[in-house]
Chains A and B, each alone.
Chain A
């Protein structure tokens, strides 16, 4: 099974900050990686697919990069709506999610 490891598990930041979340796969997954945002009590929302493709309707401050085993999600200027938990997901072989990164208000 492919394991996905996210870091950090919690991140404290302020509005306007640039934020980077890392996701590592236990084996190569090419660019078969997605990122989701989940607000408390809500279903996850797709942000990025194929490692760097921005889902329609998602603000351009979100970007993804990486290939193989190392990936990043970057929020260029954190907005109040962005305080949430973020998950990476590999879909090279079935599906596995990372443990999540909670972005908190500093």
Chain B
């Protein structure tokens, strides 16, 4: 069965950096696009970033463009999110999510999420 397990969350000071990981199993990771989606405490969902199955294309939401970098290692079945210049408004649960197919930007499997708290 498909499993996505995020890690790397924690408390970081404003202006700091953090790298999230998402370990994937139960499907052929190297053939699917992957996303990060976040949810601030008590708030709704916000799409953060997408990476094509082969890593050749990456797209970002406006609020994180220039600060966050999505990447993947298909040999390790792992997705990453490097977060720099963190702000209080980046505090959220970060989910990795599998693209249904063909980069259609909707998500058929989600991880359990990892909490990032940015303290000022």
Q: Footprint of B on A, CB under 8 Å?
A: 1, 32, 34, 36, 38, 43-46, 49, 55, 87, 89, 91, 94-100
Contact = CB atoms under 8 A, between A and B. Distances in A.
Contacts, number: 49
A34 B62 CA distance: 21
Contacts of A87: 44-45
Interface of B: 35, 44-47, 50, 59, 61-62, 95, 100, 104-108, 110-113
Nearest to B93: A43
10 contacts: A36-B45, A43-B110, A43-B112, A44-B95, A94-B47, A94-B105, A97-B46, A97-B47, A98-B44, A99-B44
**Which 5 A-B residue pairs are closest in the complex by CB-CB distance?**
A91-B105, A43-B110, A95-B47, A34-B106, A97-B45
Contacts of A100: 44-45
B110 A44 contact: yes
A38 B42 CA distance: 12
